[in-house]
Amino acid sequence: MSMVMLIGAIIGGIVLSAQSSINGAFSNRVGTIQGVFFTFFTGMVFLTIAVVFFGQGNITMIFEVPKWQLTAALLGITYLILIILAVPKIGVTAANIATIIGQLVAGMVIDHFGWFGGLQISLDTERVLAMIFMLLALYFIFKSNKQSHVNAS
């Protein structure tokens, strides 16, 4: 089952890269906020259908959860706006690596302190080295993007 989840996460990353690129082009034509609105509106329509026909939870529990948990929706909107702004300027690869670095840094802090009910996993040398390598990857990708842009001009 873990392998299925890993493959699913990889497919999710592929879909996210495609979405980032498409949203960047789409938003250049219709506007950033309008592009985000269309994306979330379309998602709401499809998810409403899924909830009505396949939902097994209790949607009314939204009123019972701690209010801070509702900020997840605002965080999703914030991510989409920022990625739509970034992709046309720095490219999909640099934007995705920067996103992953942000996720890893936040994840390491969350893991270290065990926030939000997750596991508590201490920050160690291997995790710090992994972050250094990710930052190096971002540097080389970004440098390559800038060089390719100069050569194309």
pLDDT in tens, 58-101: 888 889 989 888 888 888 888 888 888 888 888 888 888 888 88
Using 50, 70 and 90 to split pLDDT, how confident is the model at 57? confident
pLDDT in tens, 130-147: 999 989 988 888 888 777
In order of 10, 17, 25, 29, 107, the CA distances from 3 in angstroms are 11, 21, 34, 39, 21
